[in-house]
Amino acid sequence: MNLKSLFLGSAAALAATTGAQAADPVVVIEPVQNNYVEVCDTFGAGYFYIPGTETCLDIGGYIRFQVEGSNGGNVADTWNVFTRAQLNISSKTDSELGTVTGLISLRSEAHSNDTGNRTYINEAYLGVGGFQAGRFLSYWDEGLVGEIDDLAGNTRFNTIRYVFAGDGFVAGLALDALEPDQVGIDKDIPKLGVSGRVGFQAGGVGAKLDAAYDTYNEEASFRLMTSLALGPGQLDLGANYSTGWNAYSNNFEDGEFFDYSLTTPTTLPGVYAEWALAAGYQLDVTEKFSVTPAYQWTSANVPGQDNEDFWSAGVLFDYTIVDGLSAKLNVGYTDLPDSYSDDDYWSGWFRLQRDF
Q: What is the pLDDT of residues 141-188, one digit of tens each?
A: 999 999 999 999 999 999 999 999 999 999 999 999 999 999 999 888
Q: Is the pLDDT confidence value at 292 over 90?
A: yes
- pLDDT tens for 92-122 read 999 999 999 999 999 999 999 877 799 999 9
For 55-63, what is the mean pLDDT?
A: 97
230 vs 24: which has the higher pLDDT: 230
pLDDT band at 34 (very low <50, low <70, confident <90, very high): low
| The three-state (H, E, C) secondary structure of the chain, written as one string | CCHHHHHHHHHHHHHHHHHHHHCCCCCCCCCCCCCCCCECCCCCCCCEECCCCCCEEEEEEEEEEEEEEEEECCCCCEEEEEEEEEEEEEEEECCCCCCEEEEEEEEEEEECCCCCEEEEEEEEEEEECCEEEEEEECHHHCCCCCCCCCCCCCCEEEEEEEEEEECCEEEEEEEEEECHHHCCCCCCCCEEEEEEEEEEEECCEEEEEEEEEECCCCEEEEEEEEEEECCCEEEEEEEEEECCCCCCCCECCCCCCEECCCCCCEECCCCEEEEEEEEEEEEECCCCEEEEEEEEEEEEECCCCCCEEEEEEEEEEEEEEECCEEEEEEEEEEECCCCCCCCCEEEEEEEEEEEC
Q: Where are the domains of the chain?
A: 37-355
CATH number listed for the domain at residues 37-355: 2.40.160.10
- What confidence score (pLDDT) does residue 256 get? 80
- pLDDT tens for 266-291 read 888 899 999 999 999 999 999 999 99
